[in-house]
């Protein structure tokens, strides 16, 4: 895989740790701490619900608008299905999320692109796809 050989088990554990920290922050009702897993950049891309949002500030504003208080945030669970290194300092992460105890409850899949930078491993691209509601 060329440059991807510099990707180590420690890198994968670090990426999984970022996601664990995000879920913990969410479950404590702390959107700002949750957002620490994202690159603080105008280049951040977040797609969900057939919408494309660009930049850290716009992504944070979307979360704040949708989840106006900690009671509405519910409980977030993340399970990583696959971490695939991308050369030279990036990784593709695919997983499943569940959100419970909230009017926004549901679940779906996510695909994240992580990049290693000065702040460590951070999400630079997030594509989240909700499962259709069950009847």
pLDDT at 71: 82
More confident residue, 65 or 6: 65
| Residue 3 reports pLDDT greater than 50 | no
pLDDT at 135: 61
Structure tokens at 104: 């926004």
**What is the chain's mean pLDDT, rounded?**
93
pLDDT tens-place string over residues 44-53: 999 998 999 9
Beta bridge partners of 56: none
Is 74 in a helix, a strand, or coil?
A: coil
pLDDT at 2: 43
The closest alpha carbon to 117, from 26, 19, 38, belongs to: 38
Domain ranges in the chain are 2-129
If pLDDT is split at 50, 70 and 90, which confidence band does 17 have? very high
Fold of 2-129: Nuclear Transport Factor 2; Chain: A, (3.10.450)
């Amino acid at each position: 895989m060329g440059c991807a050989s510099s990707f180590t088990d420690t890198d994968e554990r670090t990426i999984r740790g970022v996601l664990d920290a995000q879920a913990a922050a969410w479950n404590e009702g702390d959107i700002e701490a949750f957002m620490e897993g994202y690159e603080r950049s105008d280049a951040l891309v977040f797609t969900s619900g057939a919408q494309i949002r660009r930049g850290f500030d716009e992504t944070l504003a979307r979360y704040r608008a949708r989840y106006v208080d900690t009671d509405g945030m519910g409980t977030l669970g993340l399970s990583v299905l696959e971490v695939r290194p991308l050369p030279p300092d990036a990784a593709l992460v695919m997983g499943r999320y569940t959100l419970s105890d909230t009017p926004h409850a549901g679940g779906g899949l996510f695909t994240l692109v992580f990049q290693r930078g000065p702040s460590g491993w951070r999400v630079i691209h997030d594509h989240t796809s909700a499962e259709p509601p069950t009847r």
